[in-house]
Amino acid sequence: MRSLHAAAAILIACSSLYASQAPPVKTRGCFLLFEIGVGQVRERPADACRERVTPASTFKVPHALAALDSGVITGPDETLRYVPGGEWPESAQRDHTLASAIRHSVLWYFQRVAERLGPAREAAYLKKLAYGNMDATSGLTSFWIGGSLQISPREQQTFWLKLYQNQLPLAGRATDLVKSMLVQPAGFVVNAAGQQPFAPPWPANTVVSAKTGSAVDRSGARVRWLAGHVKRDARSFIFVSCVIGPPDLTANAAIDLAARSLRESGVL
Protein backbone atom coordinates (compact mmCIF):
# COMPACT_ATOMS: atom_id res chain seq x y z
CA MET A 1 0.00 0.00 0.00
CA ARG A 2 2.83 2.37 0.86
CA SER A 3 4.39 1.73 -2.53
CA LEU A 4 1.09 2.69 -4.23
CA HIS A 5 0.92 5.94 -2.26
CA ALA A 6 4.54 6.67 -3.10
CA ALA A 7 3.95 6.01 -6.79
CA ALA A 8 0.91 8.28 -6.77
CA ALA A 9 2.89 11.05 -5.07
CA ILE A 10 5.63 10.77 -7.69
CA LEU A 11 3.06 10.88 -10.49
CA ILE A 12 1.42 14.02 -9.07
CA ALA A 13 4.81 15.67 -8.61
CA CYS A 14 5.83 14.82 -12.17
CA SER A 15 2.51 16.13 -13.53
CA SER A 16 2.96 19.40 -11.64
CA LEU A 17 6.52 19.75 -12.93
CA TYR A 18 5.36 19.09 -16.49
CA ALA A 19 2.59 21.67 -16.17
CA SER A 20 4.98 24.28 -14.81
CA GLN A 21 7.34 23.63 -17.73
CA ALA A 22 4.61 23.81 -20.39
CA PRO A 23 5.49 26.42 -23.01
CA PRO A 24 3.63 29.74 -22.67
CA VAL A 25 0.99 30.59 -25.23
CA LYS A 26 2.58 32.58 -28.03
CA THR A 27 0.70 35.64 -29.24
CA ARG A 28 -0.29 35.42 -32.88
CA GLY A 29 -2.70 37.36 -34.99
CA CYS A 30 -4.46 37.52 -38.33
CA PHE A 31 -5.82 40.43 -40.31
CA LEU A 32 -7.98 40.00 -43.40
CA LEU A 33 -9.21 42.74 -45.74
CA PHE A 34 -11.51 42.14 -48.69
CA GLU A 35 -12.84 44.85 -51.00
CA ILE A 36 -16.28 43.95 -52.29
CA GLY A 37 -16.26 43.91 -56.08
CA VAL A 38 -12.46 43.79 -56.17
CA GLY A 39 -11.22 40.85 -54.08
CA GLN A 40 -8.76 40.01 -51.33
CA VAL A 41 -6.58 42.97 -50.41
CA ARG A 42 -4.72 41.63 -47.39
CA GLU A 43 -4.27 38.33 -45.54
CA ARG A 44 -1.49 38.36 -42.96
CA PRO A 45 -0.28 35.86 -41.96
CA ALA A 46 -2.09 33.19 -43.95
CA ASP A 47 -1.46 30.32 -41.49
CA ALA A 48 -3.04 32.17 -38.53
CA CYS A 49 -6.04 33.06 -40.70
CA ARG A 50 -6.86 29.36 -41.07
CA GLU A 51 -6.83 28.58 -37.33
CA ARG A 52 -10.23 27.80 -35.80
CA VAL A 53 -10.94 29.27 -32.35
CA THR A 54 -13.97 30.28 -30.31
CA PRO A 55 -16.04 33.01 -32.01
CA ALA A 56 -16.89 34.52 -28.60
CA SER A 57 -19.20 37.53 -28.94
CA THR A 58 -18.81 37.80 -32.70
CA PHE A 59 -21.42 35.02 -32.64
CA LYS A 60 -23.96 37.59 -31.45
CA VAL A 61 -24.30 38.61 -35.12
CA PRO A 62 -25.52 35.24 -36.47
CA HIS A 63 -27.37 34.72 -33.18
CA ALA A 64 -29.34 37.95 -33.70
CA LEU A 65 -30.04 36.96 -37.30
CA ALA A 66 -31.42 33.60 -36.15
CA ALA A 67 -33.50 35.26 -33.42
CA LEU A 68 -35.13 37.70 -35.84
CA ASP A 69 -35.50 35.22 -38.71
CA SER A 70 -37.20 32.65 -36.45
CA GLY A 71 -39.35 35.21 -34.64
CA VAL A 72 -38.17 34.39 -31.11
CA ILE A 73 -37.19 38.09 -30.95
CA THR A 74 -39.60 40.39 -32.74
CA GLY A 75 -37.34 43.35 -33.40
CA PRO A 76 -34.37 45.46 -32.29
CA ASP A 77 -36.41 47.12 -29.52
CA GLU A 78 -37.61 43.94 -27.79
CA THR A 79 -36.58 44.35 -24.15
CA LEU A 80 -35.54 41.54 -21.82
CA ARG A 81 -35.47 42.24 -18.09
CA TYR A 82 -32.21 42.09 -16.19
CA VAL A 83 -32.20 39.66 -13.27
CA PRO A 84 -29.57 40.67 -10.68
CA GLY A 85 -26.95 38.05 -9.93
CA GLY A 86 -23.75 36.84 -11.51
CA GLU A 87 -20.61 38.76 -12.33
CA TRP A 88 -21.67 40.91 -15.27
CA PRO A 89 -19.96 44.08 -16.56
CA GLU A 90 -21.62 47.27 -15.40
CA SER A 91 -22.99 47.85 -18.91
CA ALA A 92 -24.91 44.55 -18.70
CA GLN A 93 -26.53 45.25 -15.34
CA ARG A 94 -29.78 46.69 -16.68
CA ASP A 95 -32.62 45.82 -19.02
CA HIS A 96 -31.54 45.51 -22.64
CA THR A 97 -33.04 45.50 -26.11
CA LEU A 98 -31.62 43.37 -28.89
CA ALA A 99 -29.94 46.48 -30.33
CA SER A 100 -28.30 47.52 -27.06
CA ALA A 101 -27.35 43.92 -26.26
CA ILE A 102 -25.39 43.68 -29.50
CA ARG A 103 -23.76 47.06 -29.00
CA HIS A 104 -22.72 46.39 -25.38
CA SER A 105 -22.07 42.68 -25.95
CA VAL A 106 -24.52 41.50 -23.27
CA LEU A 107 -24.05 37.77 -22.78
CA TRP A 108 -27.10 37.09 -20.59
CA TYR A 109 -29.42 38.50 -23.28
CA PHE A 110 -28.13 36.07 -25.88
CA GLN A 111 -28.20 33.18 -23.44
CA ARG A 112 -31.94 33.80 -23.20
CA VAL A 113 -32.09 33.97 -26.98
CA ALA A 114 -30.44 30.55 -27.05
CA GLU A 115 -33.03 29.19 -24.62
CA ARG A 116 -35.83 30.50 -26.82
CA LEU A 117 -34.30 28.99 -29.95
CA GLY A 118 -33.51 25.64 -28.32
CA PRO A 119 -30.91 23.05 -29.38
CA ALA A 120 -32.61 21.95 -32.60
CA ARG A 121 -32.99 25.45 -34.06
CA GLU A 122 -29.49 26.48 -32.92
CA ALA A 123 -28.08 23.51 -34.84
CA ALA A 124 -30.28 24.20 -37.86
CA TYR A 125 -29.24 27.86 -38.10
CA LEU A 126 -25.54 27.02 -37.73
CA LYS A 127 -25.91 24.65 -40.68
CA LYS A 128 -28.02 27.12 -42.66
CA LEU A 129 -25.41 29.83 -42.21
CA ALA A 130 -22.49 27.39 -42.66
CA TYR A 131 -20.93 29.04 -39.61
CA GLY A 132 -17.51 27.61 -38.70
CA ASN A 133 -17.59 23.98 -37.62
CA MET A 134 -21.37 24.27 -36.95
CA ASP A 135 -21.02 22.50 -33.58
CA ALA A 136 -23.33 23.59 -30.74
CA THR A 137 -23.08 20.38 -28.69
CA SER A 138 -21.07 21.64 -25.70
CA GLY A 139 -23.96 23.50 -24.03
CA LEU A 140 -26.99 25.50 -25.16
CA THR A 141 -26.04 28.75 -23.43
CA SER A 142 -22.27 28.60 -23.79
CA PHE A 143 -21.23 26.74 -26.96
CA TRP A 144 -19.93 29.95 -28.58
CA ILE A 145 -17.88 31.05 -25.52
CA GLY A 146 -14.85 28.74 -25.36
CA GLY A 147 -17.02 25.77 -26.27
CA SER A 148 -17.59 23.44 -29.19
CA LEU A 149 -18.32 26.14 -31.79
CA GLN A 150 -15.10 27.11 -33.58
CA ILE A 151 -14.45 29.38 -36.53
CA SER A 152 -11.39 30.64 -38.40
CA PRO A 153 -10.81 34.24 -39.49
CA ARG A 154 -11.23 33.13 -43.10
CA GLU A 155 -14.61 31.60 -42.24
CA GLN A 156 -15.59 34.79 -40.43
CA GLN A 157 -14.75 36.74 -43.57
CA THR A 158 -16.94 34.45 -45.67
CA PHE A 159 -19.86 34.92 -43.28
CA TRP A 160 -19.53 38.74 -43.23
CA LEU A 161 -19.19 38.85 -47.02
CA LYS A 162 -22.45 36.93 -47.37
CA LEU A 163 -24.12 39.24 -44.86
CA TYR A 164 -23.11 42.43 -46.65
CA GLN A 165 -23.76 41.03 -50.12
CA ASN A 166 -27.24 39.87 -49.03
CA GLN A 167 -26.41 36.25 -49.79
CA LEU A 168 -27.48 34.64 -46.50
CA PRO A 169 -30.53 32.32 -46.78
CA LEU A 170 -32.56 34.43 -44.35
CA ALA A 171 -35.38 36.95 -44.44
CA GLY A 172 -34.21 40.31 -45.76
CA ARG A 173 -35.78 42.08 -42.78
CA ALA A 174 -33.52 40.16 -40.37
CA THR A 175 -30.31 40.98 -42.25
CA ASP A 176 -31.24 44.65 -42.72
CA LEU A 177 -32.04 45.07 -39.02
CA VAL A 178 -28.84 43.40 -37.84
CA LYS A 179 -26.69 45.47 -40.18
CA SER A 180 -28.32 48.65 -38.87
CA MET A 181 -27.50 47.58 -35.28
CA LEU A 182 -23.81 47.07 -36.06
CA VAL A 183 -23.09 50.68 -37.12
CA GLN A 184 -20.51 52.26 -34.79
CA PRO A 185 -20.18 55.86 -33.54
CA ALA A 186 -17.63 57.85 -35.53
CA GLY A 187 -14.08 57.15 -34.34
CA PHE A 188 -15.05 54.37 -31.92
CA VAL A 189 -16.12 50.77 -31.57
CA VAL A 190 -18.32 49.80 -28.63
CA ASN A 191 -18.07 46.69 -26.47
CA ALA A 192 -18.95 45.66 -22.90
CA ALA A 193 -16.28 48.01 -21.51
CA GLY A 194 -17.60 51.06 -23.37
CA GLN A 195 -16.42 53.11 -26.35
CA GLN A 196 -12.95 52.19 -27.60
CA PRO A 197 -11.06 54.65 -29.85
CA PHE A 198 -10.77 53.24 -33.36
CA ALA A 199 -8.41 55.01 -35.79
CA PRO A 200 -9.95 58.47 -35.38
CA PRO A 201 -10.71 60.67 -37.18
CA TRP A 202 -12.35 58.71 -39.99
CA PRO A 203 -12.36 60.08 -43.53
CA ALA A 204 -15.50 61.90 -44.66
CA ASN A 205 -18.42 59.72 -45.79
CA THR A 206 -17.16 56.68 -43.87
CA VAL A 207 -19.39 54.24 -41.97
CA VAL A 208 -17.93 51.42 -39.88
CA SER A 209 -20.03 48.47 -38.74
CA ALA A 210 -18.38 45.96 -36.42
CA LYS A 211 -18.58 43.43 -33.62
CA THR A 212 -15.97 42.65 -30.98
CA GLY A 213 -15.41 39.33 -29.23
CA SER A 214 -13.31 38.05 -26.35
CA ALA A 215 -13.13 34.68 -24.58
CA VAL A 216 -10.77 31.98 -23.42
CA ASP A 217 -10.65 29.25 -26.05
CA ARG A 218 -10.96 25.58 -25.10
CA SER A 219 -7.21 25.37 -25.74
CA GLY A 220 -6.64 27.80 -22.84
CA ALA A 221 -5.59 30.69 -25.09
CA ARG A 222 -7.26 34.10 -24.91
CA VAL A 223 -8.95 35.12 -28.18
CA ARG A 224 -9.74 38.70 -29.16
CA TRP A 225 -11.82 39.53 -32.26
CA LEU A 226 -12.99 42.50 -34.26
CA ALA A 227 -14.90 41.79 -37.47
CA GLY A 228 -16.75 44.27 -39.59
CA HIS A 229 -17.55 46.30 -42.67
CA VAL A 230 -16.35 49.71 -43.86
CA LYS A 231 -18.35 51.80 -46.31
CA ARG A 232 -16.36 54.73 -47.70
CA ASP A 233 -18.06 56.66 -50.47
CA ALA A 234 -18.74 54.05 -53.19
CA ARG A 235 -16.22 51.51 -51.87
CA SER A 236 -17.05 48.72 -49.46
CA PHE A 237 -14.71 46.49 -47.40
CA ILE A 238 -14.97 43.49 -45.09
CA PHE A 239 -12.27 43.14 -42.44
CA VAL A 240 -11.48 40.53 -39.79
CA SER A 241 -8.95 40.97 -36.99
CA CYS A 242 -8.14 38.11 -34.62
CA VAL A 243 -5.40 37.91 -31.98
CA ILE A 244 -4.70 34.76 -29.93
CA GLY A 245 -2.43 34.81 -26.90
CA PRO A 246 -1.98 34.21 -23.17
CA PRO A 247 -4.77 34.86 -20.62
CA ASP A 248 -3.48 38.41 -20.00
CA LEU A 249 -3.59 39.36 -23.69
CA THR A 250 -4.30 43.08 -24.04
CA ALA A 251 -8.06 43.72 -24.08
CA ASN A 252 -7.95 45.81 -27.28
CA ALA A 253 -5.42 43.67 -29.15
CA ALA A 254 -7.74 42.92 -32.08
CA ILE A 255 -9.15 46.46 -32.15
CA ASP A 256 -5.64 47.92 -32.31
CA LEU A 257 -4.52 45.45 -35.00
CA ALA A 258 -7.55 46.32 -37.13
CA ALA A 259 -7.11 50.08 -36.67
CA ARG A 260 -3.43 49.92 -37.60
CA SER A 261 -4.03 47.64 -40.59
CA LEU A 262 -6.94 49.67 -41.96
CA ARG A 263 -4.81 52.81 -41.69
CA GLU A 264 -1.90 51.14 -43.48
CA SER A 265 -4.25 49.93 -46.23
CA GLY A 266 -5.68 53.42 -46.74
CA VAL A 267 -9.20 52.38 -45.77
CA LEU A 268 -9.45 54.62 -42.67
- Active-site residue flag, 261: no
Strands, E, within 15-83: which ranges?
Answer: 28-35, 39-44, 79-80
- Catalytic residue chosen out of the listed positions 15, 57, 142, 265: 57
> Closest Cα to residue 132, out of 245, 240, 45?
240
> Closest Cα to residue 33, out of 268, 262, 266, 264?
262
Give the amino acid at 242: C
251 vs 259: CA distance, rounded Å? 14
Cβ within 8 Å of residue 28, ≥6 positions away: 48, 51, 243, 244, 245
CA angle 59-65-66, nearest 5°?
A: 90
251 vs 84: CA distance, rounded Å? 26
Q: At what angle do helices 107-129 and 60-70 cross, to 10 degrees?
A: 80
Could you please report the per-residue DSSP string of 127-190?
HHHT-TT---TT-TTTTTSSSS--B-HHHHHHHHHHHHTT-SSS-HHHHHHHHHHTBPPTTEEE
Residues 267 and 65: beta-carbon distance below 8 Å? no
Question: CA dist 77 to 99, 100, 104, 180, Å?
Answer: 7, 8, 14, 12
CA angle 256-147-86, nearest 5°?
A: 80
Mind telling me the catalytic residues?
Answer: 57
